[in-house]
Amino acid sequence: MRNVLETAGGQRSAKSAVCYYAGHICPLARLVKQIIDFVPLLLFFIAYKVEPATVEFGGFSLGVGGIFSATAVLIISSVIIYGVLFVHQRRLEKNQSLTLAACLLFGGLTLALHSEAILKWKAPVLNWLFALAFTASHFIGDKPLIQRMMGHAVRLPAAQWSQLNVAWILFFLVCGFANLFVAFVYPSIWVDFKVFGSLALTLLFMAGQALYLVRHMQPEPEES
């Protein structure tokens, strides 16, 4: 009987953990925010796929289609999107600020120097900077970075927080090298991978993280 009760209790705990994860770690607002962050990249992809042409507008010739007009679209849409987020949130999160800065830096240099190779380094460098930040948090401060980000919603043992932080470090390193490899070895599919390949990797990693959290998450203390 005791085993049956323990099993039933474990099933309830697992179910509660899944519900808690869905309700607190992946709320609709967070999902919407991630979709909004993805908009500039999607517009970049659409602009890149447009057949290159020259459009006359007000006596000026404007080139559309191809990597450079797509880069301009990426910069403009990023400024608009993150500007709206800044007004709405009254601040930008650190990852949003870093993403916008990288977009302006690498996108601006790409247009100024008319070099596609510069933009290809944006995703690798950005991912490696994130990996560096997560790595530094093991040595600076009293908590890993992932715990500082999610600790208000999740209770995990210290060892599991450390493991999860290492997983994020590896994820960012892999994403950086994958983007670099595809950009310079398979340039014909680079933009497709930049938009949809990176998204697929992120979704797979997030699914793995969800399973990890459900397995290790500690229950909330019961109120007396």
Distance separating alpha carbons of residues 82 and 28, to the nearest angstrom: 19
For the segment 18-30, the average pLDDT, to the nearest whole number, is 47
Indicate the angle between helix axes 67-89 and 28-49, nearest 10 degrees.
Answer: 160
User: How far does Cα 140 stand from its chain's mean position?
Assistant: 23
At residue 163, what is the residue type? Answer: Q
Confidence of residue 20 (pLDDT cuts 50, 70, 90): very low
**pLDDT attached to residue 9:** 47
More confident residue, 37 or 161: 161
DSSP E strands, the chain? 53-57, 60-64
The structural domains of the chain, with segments of one domain joined by +, span: 14-216
Confidence of residue 3 (pLDDT cuts 50, 70, 90): very low
pTM surpassing 0.85? no
Confidence of residue 14 (pLDDT cuts 50, 70, 90): very low
